[in-house]
Amino acid sequence: MAYRKIRIVKGDITKIKADAIVNAANSSLLGGGGVDGAIHRAGGPDILNDCRAIVARQGGCKTGNAVITTAGRLPAKHVIHTVGPVWNGGDNNEVTLLANCYRHSLELASRHHLATIAFPNISTGIYHFPKELAASIAMNTIVTYLEEHSDIEEVILVCYDDENLRYTEQYYNQHI
Ligand code: ADP
């Protein structure tokens, strides 16, 4: 059952021991604020070195896409960097692009034979995506993926703030 593989926790994603944690990166892949800054600070320079190599190879990461690097000093094994959409009113493909972030991150985990993956609430910080809508998109995309792929054993949703925690738990309890 897909829903049994989902865990919702409150906390700091840099502390999570999973096969991969997901970073809400920006398209430059060269670091930023919020969860991105926290991951690079805690993980050390190896993560940025891998990001630079990816940039040299493919020139950054488009919104909705994902790339994978080492996790450096973090307890996780890998960091999957995905670029969420900036909320711009809702008529600019934001919903599809946010769903793409979750789906592409999960696909990348599968391709690398990673069984446990932790997500932050992508786009709900500096990128201002409405948190309630983001929680529903995250949950529906994850559940759909888990129903279609049995290789992922656990998806952890790591909520940093109370509002994201409330919306995520509420959506899970009411709809999943
Ligand atoms: P974005 O640019 O995609 O909006 P942010 O990093 O600004 O990215 O915010 C995304 C979410 O990550 C926000 O809900 C924020 O509260 C959360 N966040 C910030 N720091 C951490 C952390 N250390 N662990 C988990 N989530 C975090």
Q: What is the 3-state secondary structure (H, E, C) of 15-37?
A: HCCCCEEEEEECCCCCCCCHHHH
Q: What is the pLDDT of residues 36-89, one digit of tens each?
A: 999 999 999 999 999 999 999 999 999 999 999 999 999 999 999 999 999 999
Query: For residue 12, how far is its CA from the centre of ligand 1 (angstroms)?
Result: 9
- This complex has an ipTM of 0.99
Residues with CB under 6 A from ligand 1: 12-14, 24, 34-36, 38, 84, 120-127, 158, 160-161, 164
Supply the residues annotated as catalytic. Answer: 36
Its pTM stands at 0.98
In tens, the pLDDT along 66-81 reads: 999 999 999 999 999 9
For residue 159, give the DSSP letter: E
Closest ligand 1 atom to residue 164 Cα is 14
Instruction: Give me the residues paired with residue 79 across strands.
Output: 21, 69
Show Cβ contacts of residue 59 under 8 Å, excluding neighbours closer than 6 positions: none
The atom of ligand 1 lying closest to the CA of 38 is 23
